[in-house]
Structure 1
Amino acid sequence: MILFQNMTVKAVKEHLSSLNIQAYPEIIPDLKADSRIAVQNMGVSLEKKVLAMESEVTRIAKMKALEATYYAAGIKKIGGIDEVGRGPLAGPVVTCVIILKPSSQRLYVNDSKKLSRKMRETLCEQLLEDAIDYAIGLVDNETIDEINILNATKKAMTDSLTKLTEQPELLLIDALQINTKIPQKSIIHGDAISYAIAAASIVAKVYRDNLMQIYHEEYPEYGFDHHMGYGTAAHIEAIRKYGPTPIHRKSFLRNLDY
């Protein structure tokens, strides 16, 4: 056991930085019992981290509860589907269908909008490592203008299904029903409730953000790398100043004065 009282505060801090969170519970009592306030505070800080981690583990288990019932019933290939980009003034709508290994249990998986860009990118890599199969669906702005955004979203979802090598036994979809013979369950706010749907939202978001970064390089004056095509004040001002680009959704600009 580390005798913290024989270590300087700096040494204690350096020692703690070398540990992983699994080691925290054993040393927290010693830290909090130390006579020095600075060391006691380190113990309190680690305790908060442990509690937050335990809460996150519980949240992920709750998100996986629905899928767990299907896994227990013998359904192993569950496809989570979600979309990104229904609201922007520019760019495509992108969907992802992902079939995860039942063992996948990555912490912090959530609705992609609730995550930082760095966290999304990290989780995207981890989730693709856990994937049995996945596919991206994309419908461009011109088709969105032709068939409307709802139908375009459904088309992107069904298109992604045709790209899969593995056939899902069940689809969990965020708030929509699509035209497929595969059994499906529509879940309102699914990206905050279902682990598989949240995973799909993360992969779709990272894919679309990377695509909008490419568009930014082509049309740098519009700031696509910041707002990803959504109708921010800066974006609307750019449209008024420069006019729409070939990737803008004309049907979404009808109420803009430009």
Structure 2
Amino acid sequence: MPNKLTLKQLKQQLAAIEDPTDSLLSALKSDDRVGVQKLLQQWHTTYDQKCAREERFRHMRHYEGHYLNKGATKIVGVDEVGRGPLAGPVVVAAVALPGDIVDVGLDDSKRLSHSKRAELVNWIKKEAIAYKIVAKDSKVIDHYNILEATRMAMTEAVMAIADDQTVVLTDAMKLPISLKQIDLIKGDQRSVSIAAASILAKEYRDGLMKEYAELYPHYDFQHNMGYGTKKHLQGLSLYGATPIHRLSFSPVMTSVQSLRSNKGIK
């Protein structure tokens, strides 16, 4: 009988249960020990969380499964990181995952810790059918504008790994290609392929910005990744723009003009 088992014994037995209709769970409801009721509550909480993760994973695999079943040879998810910063490149990744992918915790890169992203980068590079990372630097961004530079990078990344029967999933970005495209708002939260792309792109770009932090130590790139934080703007006002700054972005342009004015340069 359950009430004759110790809490340690019950904990071990509960750990092996996966079915919420298991007879032990029903029997424990009438056990008046406080510790038993806590163990029972913990089991149900863990089970509910597991069900929620599984449901979310099924949802994030919907588009991949749907189009593979319709005959697509591969599904390519594409995403970018770095459209908003004042410095550094915009980085795009395109990823094609296998159809039998398991749940490894793929999610919007912004929702994950650096250590989890690093773990997933290794998994993606090992398990993906194909992937491609493309960066467009500040010169390209200044010449074409950030939207077009991003679109160029996405197109290049996708076409590097796509074939004629590929379906492309984008995070609300229409590309100038003939392949079938599905544009998903908040796609990195709705597609495992786009999530994988966002993770690759972010980890790659963050690594670049940490390298740039050593070359240009006055802008705190290792913490702000090129975004316009207070320390970054202070660095701009004191030292001006570096070769990786986007001169077409207003705060950078204003800083350069201000330094020139202070030095009497027209």
TM-score by length of 1: 0.83
Q: Residue by residue, what CA displacement relative to the aligned partner does 1:192-250 show, whole Å, maximum 9, x if unpaired?
A: 22221121111111111111121122223322221211112222222223322221111
More displaced stretch, 143-152 vs 247-256: 247-256
CA contact (8 A) 1:137 1:156 kept: yes
Aligned pairs (5 A) from 1:218-229? 218-229=215-226
> Post-superposition shift, 1:25?
8.8
Alignment of 1:121 with 2:118, yes or no, is yes
Q: Residue by residue, what CA displacement relative to the aligned partner does 1:19-49 show, whole Å, maximum 9, x if unpaired?
A: 6896999676677766553453244233212
Q: Residue by residue, what CA displacement relative to the aligned partner does 1:50-104 show, whole Å, maximum 9, x if unpaired?
A: 2112101101101211221111112131111111100011110000111110111
> Post-superposition shift, 1:115?
1.9
What's the % identity of the aligned pairs? 38
CA contact (8 A) 2:79 2:94 kept: yes
Distance 1:198 1:72 in 2: 21
Matched residue of 2:83: which SS? coil
Q: 1:180 aligns with which of 177, 181, 205?
A: 177
Q: Tell me which residue corresponds to 1:78.
A: 75
Distance 2:28 2:120 in 1: 33
Query: What residue identity is the alignment partner of 1:69?
Result: H
Alignment of 1:65 with 2:62, yes or no, is yes
Q: Tell me which residue corresponds to 1:158.
A: 155
Matched residue of 2:77: which SS? strand
Gaps (5+ residues) in structure 2? Answer: 260-266
- Work out the number of aligned pairs and report it: 254
Distance 1:181 1:197 in 2: 19
Q: Tell me which residue corresponds to 2:230.
A: 233
Distance 2:38 2:29 in 1: 7
Q: Tell me which residue corresponds to 2:263.
A: none
Q: Tell me which residue corresponds to 1:254.
A: 253
Distance 2:122 2:25 in 1: 33
More displaced stretch, 33-42 vs 166-175: 33-42
> Post-superposition shift, 1:112?
1.4
Aligned pairs (5 A) from 1:11-26? none
Matched residue of 1:80: which SS? strand
CA contact (8 A) 2:108 2:189 kept: yes
Q: Residue by residue, what CA displacement relative to the aligned partner does 1:100-135 show, whole Å, maximum 9, x if unpaired?
A: 101113243222122222222222222333200000
Distance 1:173 1:129 in 2: 22
Higher-Rg member (1/2): 2
Distance 2:125 2:215 in 1: 29
Matched residue of 1:67: which SS? helix
Gaps (5+ residues) in structure 1? Answer: none
Q: 2:107 aligns with which of 86, 97, 110?
A: 110
Matched residue of 1:249: which SS? coil
